[in-house]
């Protein structure tokens, strides 16, 4: 199975800050990388697919980059509604695998 | 409008078999490229991908759970069923179904909490 490793596991930031979350795959996944936002009691929400494509309806402050094994999710100018846990997921092959998550908390 | 909804028992006993149903609308699982996946999240843990069934009835399973999982579909009813045998308290989790199309999970159900306890 392809292992997905995110860093950091958690971070504290203030409204208006820019944050970056890293995701590394254990082997190349080309650009088959998706990012999800998950809030307690809610369904996960797709933010970015194919490493850098913004899902319809997602604010442009979210962006993704990377290819091969290293990827980044960037949130520019954090908003109160952005405090959540973020997951990367590879869709290069099955079984699909998720990273362990990065919790973004309010400083 | 695409929607998915999970249903099943809220409580199961250890060693029992869990059966969950995902009922969806707004798409057909007979359309080429359409898939439905199951994902779970145990309390305080990360999302864990479990299984996927494809429009052509191809099936894919988590490596660690594949001996316990079976996924099936009823295209006429717009349903996907997941069974998990030999349930254990560590299987306590919120179980989600989601549509996968063109390699990404774009629509998710709200999830159903399953507790495993005697």
Q: Any chain B CB within 8 A of the CB of A100?
A: yes
- For residue B49, list chain A residues with Cβ-Cβ distance below 8 A: 89, 95-98
pLDDT of residue A107: 86
* Non-local CB neighbours of B91 within 8 Å, separated by 6+ positions: B18, B42, B84, B114, B116
Q: How far is Cα B103 from Cα B91, in angstroms, rounded to an integer? A: 26
- Cβ separation A49–B104 shorter than 8 A: yes
Task: Report the relative pairing of strands A10-13 and A102-106 from DSSP bridges.
Answer: parallel
pLDDT class of A105 with cuts at 50, 70, 90: very high
**Taking the CB of residue A28, how many other CB atoms lie within 10 A of it?**
11
Task: Give the number of beta-carbon pairs within 8 Å between A and B.
Answer: 61
- Cβ separation A32–B47 shorter than 8 A: no
- Cβ separation A98–B63 shorter than 8 A: no
Q: What's the order of all strands across the beta sheet hosting B69-74?
A: B3-7, B18-25, B79-84, B69-74
- Cβ separation B49–A89 shorter than 8 A: yes
How far from chain centre, in Å, is Cα B28? 17
**Percent residues over pLDDT 90 in chain B:** 98
Q: How far is Cα A64 from Cα A71, in angstroms, rounded to an integer? A: 7
Q: How far is A42 from chain B (nearest CA, A)?
A: 6
List strand residue ranges (DSSP E) for chain A, in order.
Answer: 4-7, 10-13, 19-25, 33-38, 45-49, 53-54, 62-67, 70-75, 85-90, 97-98, 102-106
**What are B14-33's pLDDT values in tens digits?**
999 999 999 999 999 999 99
Q: Which of B49, B96, B106 sits opposite A96 (nearest CB)?
A: B49
pLDDT of residue B62: 98
Cα maximum dimension of chain A: 38
Q: Which of B46, B25, B40 minimizes the C-alpha distance to B99?
A: B25
- Cβ separation A98–B105 shorter than 8 A: no
- For residue B96, list chain A residues with Cβ-Cβ distance below 8 A: 43-44
For residue A39 the two structure tokens come to: 């809030």
**What are A37-72's pLDDT values in tens digits?**
999 999 999 999 999 999 999 999 999 999 999 999
**What are B53-73's pLDDT values in tens digits?**
999 999 999 999 999 999 999
Half-sphere exposure of B51 (CA within 13 A, CB side): 22
Q: Which of A49, A98, A101 sits opposite B49 (nearest CB)?
A: A98
């Amino acid at each position: 199975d392809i292992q997905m490793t995110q860093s950091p596991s958690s971070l504290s930031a203030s409204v208006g800050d820019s944050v970056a979350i890293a995701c590394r795959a254990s082997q190349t996944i080309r650009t088959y990388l998706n990012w999800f936002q998950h809030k307690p009691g809610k369904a996960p929400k797709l933010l970015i697919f194919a490493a850098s494509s913004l899902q319809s309806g997602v604010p442009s402050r979210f962006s993704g980059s990377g290819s091969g094994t290293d990827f980044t999710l960037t949130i520019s100018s954090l908003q109160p509604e952005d405090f959540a846990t973020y997951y990367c997921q590879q869709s290069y092959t099955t079984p699909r695998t998720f990273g362990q998550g990065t919790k973004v908390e309010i400083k | 409008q695409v929607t998915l909804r999970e249903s099943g028992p809220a409580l199961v006993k250890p060693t029992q078999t869990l059966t969950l149903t995902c009922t969806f609308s707004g798409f057909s699982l007979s359309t080429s490229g359409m898939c439905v996946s199951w994902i779970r999240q145990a309390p305080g843990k990360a999302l864990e991908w479990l299984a996927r069934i494809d429009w052509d009835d191809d099936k894919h399973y988590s490596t660690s759970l594949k001996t316990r999982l079976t996924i099936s579909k009823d295209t006429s009813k717009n349903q996907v069923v997941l069974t998990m045998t030999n349930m254990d308290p560590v299987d306590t989790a919120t179980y989600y179904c989601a549509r996968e199309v063109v390699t990404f999970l774009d629509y998710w159900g709200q999830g159903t909490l399953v507790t495993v306890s005697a």
